[in-house]
Amino acid sequence: MNGKQSPRNGRTAYHFQPAKNWMNDPNGPLYHKGMYHMFFQYNPHGPTFGTGKLSWGHSVSGDLVNWAFLGTALDPTSPFDAEGCWSGSATTLADGRPAILYTGRDASGVQVQNVAFPKNPSDPLLREWRKPPGCNPVVPQPGDVTGNNFRDPTTAWLGRDGLWRFAVAAEVGGVGSTLVYRSKDFVRWERGSAPLHASPDVPVWECPDLFPVAERGAEGLDTSARGGAGVRHVLKLSKAADEDYYVVGRYDDEADTFAPVEGVFDWRRIDHGHLFGAKTFFDARRRRRVLWAWVDETDDGVDKGWRGIQTFPRALWLDADGRQLVQWPVEEIETLRKGRAALAGAVVGAGGLREIAGVDALQADVEVVFEVPESLDDAEELDPEWLQHDPHKLRACAEKKASSPGPRGGVGPFGLVVMASGDMREQTTVFFQVLRHGGTYKVLMCADLTRSSTKEGVHKPFYAGFVDVDVEKDRGISLRTLIDHSVVESFGGGGRTCITARVYPEHVAAGGSSHLYLFNNGAHPVTVSKIEAWELGTASVNVEQDDRADPL
């Protein structure tokens, strides 16, 4: 960087990204006739958001790892989307045809909801889409919407009355709302009498998602699965230009109401790091629910000719507690594994650093299980403020700062040092700290990016979240981290807490090698009962092709 491009033009090795130009929200991920489809907000004219006249980019895959770009599926060509084809979703209709609902910014800049269908539903690649004449917008902007905030329709679902429904984010009288619309034919829609959710505290929500989850087990459910015994629902909302939150509850498709578990809106973060606009779909091939999310650049990105990636796809399911989601990289990532390093029973002393060698630390999948000490008497007391809001958690991580070596006392911080230069001037740390809270213990998970790059002007924050694990009972905590050149995705406690980070180490941009370490800055040695690290190969992701007749 520093005005120069890296040998790979800054590209990641296995994360979804465009061959060139701007990308943001994932839209309408879909499994259809043996192929996975990813649609995404895309500027085909350059690596910036530009004027907002976005299209839908379209890529296909047979395995969720390797992707071929098919061009654009939707472009701003009509009066109802002349200023941009914005975010939306894809739905598989009862006859097997897919349909797209999306927000169009019309010629006057007003946000409206539109529909599109494939020109040839039997084409497994779904290369061409049509906007049926005379139908759009299928939902004009209602008169009570304020601030022109009316966007991002969800995947639709069928109620027991045989009517399709979708939800859409709207600002109604200054209140952030999630409206529900019903239709018999997917073209004529009527608004429900009450919003699915409304909050005056957040006037603008974006990218809603409503989907069912099984109360037991990891199997995913189709979006039309109804509530009742064995089924709960997750409502996910993105706080505009901020973070993604979700709550687990029950959805009633007769009244179109959503009630959180035990009546409490216990909002949780999808990820405590740097991602936005998460979108899920039901993978009928593997019977699982899969999540994508947009990870923006934190440098300018323009000199690379492209901007934006997606998280590696994650399978998700409901934890045994019934209140939180578990997220885990889809198993197809294992097809990229090659070199492997393994170690069991390693001990990292107080203030210690131990290298994990034998794999390429720029493209790696690392799983570690840390054992906590038999005695937790030295655990530091948790400041009650740290439980309240993210800024306080970030302050907690700053106080436990792991990027400076040496023991500090307490149980932790211990974890991984990734993307480290040979002289350790550049490094990113992902770590845990066990803290005393009343008569029990809480685990804080942090990512420290303050020394991730020596480049000026790059965002280098702390990220933090608590992990719901019982360390007294389990006597340990797991960490899985995916490393891919400029992105680090970490999953704590088996995927209960996730942190995604963008990092831009100069030694990588210059073509240098990176190092990977275990570290422990706690007062006592930490035993690592399991270490498995795999070097990962490079996937084929949206490389430019001259011949698109057979993209895969």
- Report the catalytic residues: 25
CA distance 148 to 146: 5
**Count of CA atoms in the C-beta half-sphere (13 A) of 260:** 14
CA distance 333 to 31: 18
Q: Are 195 and 180 in contact (CB under 8 A)?
A: yes
CA distance 331 to 467: 23
Tokens read off for 441: 């213990």
**By C-alpha distance, which of 10, 99, 2, 15 is closest to 488?**
15
* Amino acid occupying residue 103: T
What lies within 8 Å, CB to CB, of 436 at 6+ separation is 376, 379, 380, 381, 382
Question: What sign has the CA pseudo-torsion 357, 361, 367, 372?
Answer: positive
* Amino acid occupying residue 51: T
Helix or strand holding residue 10 (H, E):
none
Tokens read off for 292: 């994508």
**By C-alpha distance, which of 77, 53, 80 is closest to 128?**
77
Which 3 state secondary structure label does DSSP give 473? helix
Helix or strand holding residue 482 (H, E):
strand 476-484
Q: Are 512 and 8 in contact (CB under 8 A)?
A: no
Q: Are 280 and 91 in contact (CB under 8 A)?
A: no
| DSSP conformation class of 373 | P
Beta bridge partners of residue 97, listed in sequence order = none
CA distance 415 to 368: 9
| DSSP conformation class of 390 | H
* Amino acid occupying residue 71: G
Q: Are 156 and 164 in contact (CB under 8 A)?
A: yes
| DSSP conformation class of 106 | -
Residue count (the chain): 552
